[in-house]
């Protein structure tokens, strides 16, 4: 029985077929999965006695000490996607491995002159919009909403369809609401299992990445630099996000199709942003500070910067202010 008649059958079949293919994967699972590409984090490092390192600021401990670390020890999550992780890491690697010469061109101010480099920068932005805790949560919320909606339909407007299916398949007559609810849950079990094992997440994240690449690839690309030499960007562990304009003013994390831009820091002196045309622009300290504050506010638990950047005090102030506001809201409620 097709529970969700609103979803095109072809789309469902495509997702299920991809999951079937992924079940046969023989690649070694990757458990420590970087959400911020190492090749990108390297842009925020500088020489230390222990080698190239960056400053990983723990937002839960704003007044604590945060020893400098190498890029391989930060910016990752255990089992971000547990199902068929080997091929997913290969998918990300297809873009990441090509970035070093692109970043060289960014530093030289020539990246926008090469369509291939523009495409790779767009792909890097799409990659970080997709490979994020934000999308993982959106996926979970969407599944829960769809699950509840489907159960409501099965026990409501589709109850006769459900009764007929149970009679045909099990030879049982459903009488009361308890029986309807029991078999509605039974019919949803395959979907729940795909969600629980993250097979559905694995297939969907691949589909969403392809869709995001197409949307980002149709937009212009800005490379934004600070106007002043003593101003620079930091990067969070959830570094790419969309921005839009709502009834109450600027908003973040809106759907890409509704966004006015999407941004991603790609170095202390460079920020990618979607725009109407390809261009390189310089912005004042206030704009750089705004981006840095948003990186702190949208990060999960850490932001990263050059050890000598001097941005630690800004991050600390944002953390304390965020805590003060949370306490005020708690007192008010």
- Per-residue confidence (pLDDT) for residue 247, from 0 to 100: 62
- Per-residue confidence (pLDDT) for residue 249, from 0 to 100: 57
Give the residues across from 261 on adjacent strands: 243
Q: Is the pTM of this model over 0.85?
A: yes
The predicted-structure confidence for 218-275, as pLDDT tens digits, reads as follows 999 999 999 998 999 999 999 999 988 766 656 777 788 778 899 999 999 999 999 9
pLDDT at residue 3 tops 50: no
The predicted-structure confidence for 48-92, as pLDDT tens digits, reads as follows 888 899 999 999 999 988 899 999 989 999 999 999 999 999 999
- Per-residue confidence (pLDDT) for residue 6, from 0 to 100: 43
- Per-residue confidence (pLDDT) for residue 108, from 0 to 100: 97
What average pLDDT is seen over the chain? 91
The predicted-structure confidence for 96-155, as pLDDT tens digits, reads as follows 999 999 999 999 999 999 999 999 999 999 999 999 998 999 999 999 999 999 999 988
């Amino acid at each position: 029985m097709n529970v969700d008649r609103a979803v095109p059958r072809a789309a469902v079949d495509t997702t299920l077929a991809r999951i079937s293919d992924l079940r046969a994967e023989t690649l070694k699972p990757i458990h420590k999965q970087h959400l911020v590409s190492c090749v990108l984090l390297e842009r925020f490092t500088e020489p230390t006695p222990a080698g190239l390192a960056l400053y990983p600021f723990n937002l839960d401990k704003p007044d604590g000490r945060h020893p400098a670390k190498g890029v391989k020890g930060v910016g990752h999550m255990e089992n971000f996607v547990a199902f068929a992780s080997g091929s997913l890491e290969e998918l990300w690697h297809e873009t990441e491995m090509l970035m070093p010469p692109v970043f060289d061109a960014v530093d030289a101010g020539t990246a926008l002159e090469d369509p291939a480099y523009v495409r790779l920068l767009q792909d890097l932005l799409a990659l970080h919009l997709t490979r994020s805790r934000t999308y993982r949560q959106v996926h979970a919320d969407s599944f829960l909403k769809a699950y509840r909606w489907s159960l409501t339909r099965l026990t409501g407007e589709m109850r006769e369809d459900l009764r007929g299916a149970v009679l045909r398949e099990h030879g049982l007559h459903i009488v009361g609401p308890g029986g309807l609810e029991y078999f509605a849950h039974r019919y949803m079990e395959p979907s729940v299992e795909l969600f629980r094992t993250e097979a559905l997440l694995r297939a969907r994240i691949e589909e969403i990445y392809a869709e995001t690449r197409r949307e980002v690839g149709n937009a212009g690309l800005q490379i934004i630099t600070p106007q002043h030499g003593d101003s620079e960007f930091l990067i969070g562990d959830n570094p790419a996000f969309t921005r839009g304009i709502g009834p109450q003013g600027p908003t973040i994390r809106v759907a890409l199709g509704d966004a006015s831009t999407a941004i991603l820091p790609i170095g202390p002196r460079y920020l990618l942003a979607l725009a109407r045309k390809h261009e390189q622009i310089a912005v004042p300290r206030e704009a750089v500070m705004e981006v840095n504050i948003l990186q702190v506010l949208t990060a999960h638990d850490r932001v990263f910067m050059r050890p000598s950047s001097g941005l630690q005090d800004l991050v600390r102030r944002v953390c304390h202010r965020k805590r003060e506001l949370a306490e005020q809201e708690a007192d008010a409620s």
